[in-house]
Chains A and B, each alone.
Chain A
Amino acid sequence: DAGVIQSPRHEVTEMGQEVTLRCKPISGHNSLFWYRQTMMRGLELLIYFNNNVPIDDSGMPEDRFSAKMPNASFSTLKIQPSEPRDSAVYFCASSFKGTRTYEQYFGPGTRLTVT
């Protein structure tokens, strides 16, 4: 079975440009998570969706960040305008939420560099 798919794997952009990261969760999973990993702050949850609805976006840094999940098999994380401090690895993860909590499976990540 295919795991979580993320694209692109690497993105280099200039400050001020718009960046869009994409994620396809594992088929059958109904929760999707966006994380950011940096040396300074470690792994941080940015936002998560359940059944395509945003549940907790308290980790989204500021209005420059937005995320959407138009259907069960696709999500985007957009940064507009991008800044050098947004440079990080962005992970997407998915899980199945039923009556109990299940583990999250992570994609390979997108390494974003903003110059």
Chain B
Amino acid sequence: AQKVTQAQTEISVVEKEDVTLDCVYETRDTTYYLFWYKQPPSGELVFLIRRNSFDEQNEISGRYSWNFQKSTSSFNFTITASQVVDSAVYFCALSSTQGGSEKLVFGKGTKLTVNP
């Protein structure tokens, strides 16, 4: 069975602080994909990043960075110099390719509040 755990239910920071959102996943498959999505207060789900299980390189996109470590089954997300507009619920998700499935399993989400 596949599972995604986001242990941090809510995080509150002050603007300009760095913040890391944790994601731990479970799967028996050797080929899989990991994703992060952002859900701002307006409610839509916005795709942020996809990473496949064979690519452990960290990725940086502006103030966002992702740390993928297969050894600890983690795919953590860091926001540097947070801004009020980063306030949202962030979801980590896992997709196994076994049998050609595209099923996404989501974590429960971490609600980030960035205070001015």
> B44, B103, B107: which contacts A109 (Cβ < 8 A)?
B44
Given contacts A89-B43, A108-B43, A109-B43, contact A101 B106 (CB under 8 A): no
Tally B residues with Cβ within 8 Å of A: 23
Majority secondary structure, A binding face: strand
Q: Are A95 and B35 in contact (CB under 8 A)?
A: no
Check if B102 is an interface residue, CB within 8 A of chain A: yes
Residue of A nearest to B95 (CB): A101
Contacts of A107 in B (CB 8 A): 44
Per the bound structure, the CA–CA distance linking A106 and B43 in Å amounts to: 11
> How many whole Å from A31's CB to the nearest CB in chain B?
6
Check if B84 is an interface residue, CB within 8 A of chain A: no
Report B76-116 CB contacts with A as 1/0, cut-off 8 Å. 00000000000000010001010011111111110000000
Check if A85 is an interface residue, CB within 8 A of chain B: no
Interface, chain A (partner B; CB < 8 A): 31, 33, 42-43, 45, 48, 50, 55-56, 89, 91, 93, 95, 97, 100-109, 111
